[in-house]
Structure 1
């Protein structure tokens, strides 16, 4: 909450002037409410200038900001309906997980529906990974599986042959292309929120399954799938 409301009345007034009422309402509903209900902080943004300069590929990443809750729900429901009884065969990973909101919300939805699935998060900034672990443990009640790793160097084969990948526009196409290449031998469903480089996935052989085109980039999500070139 601190990034929006922690600076007193002047900060609030400045924010209101800069944002439309519709966007303010969306941020309350989609971000602030999630944190308030769960007693955690996933909303506070982290600008790239605060990241460690030692991080490889930092120049190709973006600042940290949390996904809107409805976009996570949209992706979950599309995947569940698309995969049917095979849904639980898929591992789930949020690449660029930040403070862990997506993994937490995904696990909550699994529990509500009494479904089992391996849930993971990955980020290249160790501070955010520690925040994700803390938040996940506080909400879910047990340790989560989070990796501090460069997305271009991670061994995705350890996730198994079927993977649901969540991307909230974590990096540019310089990183996206090699990540997709490393996933080419797995059956992949990609949930891409704020799909800036959707064309890169389409050119890599992904097919559009569903789309949600909202009023704001954060309210736009596409779900795509691709069969493996060489199944594991």
Structure 2
């Protein structure tokens, strides 16, 4: 137990440790609510339906990852794609010319749910090799059952170094995957793009990285934060 805690705190500053403790308190408090228990049942139903492994949480210290990168990442927890039809309708997504990208995709749940829509591409970016392997296995399971419409890709790499495609409109998904030190270069790359880029951001703890440029318009979809660059606003 002590060694596990030591692994999780290694390489973090005092401020980062305080923020991590606060993040964990909030997470566990939310996990005890009736809404959270209902959400968990829906997550488990997805895996029961498809035979996938997307629900079970993974702490970073259980993964073989670079400690320098892990110090800025969050634990893996599945996201719920139930609101995707509303998100995509609100964003006026033209699926045939749009790529869906999940930054910090973990086991691939959001990517796989998005791939059931006719996107040009569905992409997951994840730095933990074990999680990418699980995501790839989940993709094969769902593809074998004819559940996926979009070409689906999982990339094992640091999100801060990922260059999104410049030839497609983008819908980018973030479920509080990492802290400001990773979010800053990710946002800089997205801000530099000229094609329509829309962002769905759940638990937006690093929203300041989007706001600092004055480039992104903020809105709501099913009580979740959405952001659009100027090209997406013009659609």
Q: Deviations over 1:64-101 (max 9, x none)?
A: 00002334x2xx433334335x3431211111111111
Task: Work out whether residues 65 and 127 of structure 2, in 8 Å CA contact, stay in contact via their aligned partners in 1.
Answer: no
Judging changes above 3 Å, is the alpha-carbon distance between structure 1 residues 78 and 138 closer, same or farther for their aligned structure 2 residues? same
| SS of alignment partner, residue 40 of structure 1 | coil
Task: Work out whether residues 78 and 210 of structure 1, in 8 Å CA contact, stay in contact via their aligned partners in 2.
Answer: no
Q: 1:139 aligns with which of 138, 142, 161?
A: 142
Q: Deviations over 1:84-119 (max 9, x none)?
A: 5x34312111111111111111112x1xxxx34211
Instruction: State the superposition RMSD in angstroms.
Output: 2.3
1:152 matched residue in structure 2: 160
1:50 matched residue in structure 2: 62
Unaligned 5+ runs, structure 1: 1-14, 214-220
Q: Equivalent residues in 2 for 1:157-168 (5 A)?
A: 158=165, 160-168=167-175
Aligned length: 194
Q: Deviations over 1:111-131 (max 9, x none)?
A: xxxx34211111001111111
Q: Deviations over 1:153-193 (max 9, x none)?
A: 1222x353521111111001111111011122323101111
2:18 matched residue in structure 1: none
1:218 matched residue in structure 2: none
Unaligned 5+ runs, structure 2: 1-27
Task: Work out whether residues 207 and 226 of structure 1, in 8 Å CA contact, stay in contact via their aligned partners in 2.
Answer: yes
1:10 matched residue in structure 2: none
2:34 matched residue in structure 1: 21
**Is 1:212 paired with 2:212?**
no
Q: Name the TM-score, length of structure 2 as normaliser.
A: 0.74
1:5 matched residue in structure 2: none
Task: Work out whether residues 99 and 119 of structure 2, in 8 Å CA contact, stay in contact via their aligned partners in 1.
Answer: no
Q: 2:96 aligns with which of 88, 98, 122?
A: 88
Q: Equivalent residues in 2 for 1:117-132 (5 A)?
A: 117-132=120-135
Alpha-carbon distance between aligned partners in 2 of 1:183 and 1:191, rounded to the nearest angstrom: 13
1:194 matched residue in structure 2: 203
Q: 2:53 aligns with which of 23, 41, 44?
A: 41
Q: Name the TM-score, length of structure 1 as normaliser.
A: 0.75
- Runs of 4+ displaced beyond 4 Å: none
1:7 matched residue in structure 2: none
Alpha-carbon distance between aligned partners in 2 of 1:146 and 1:19, rounded to the nearest angstrom: 32
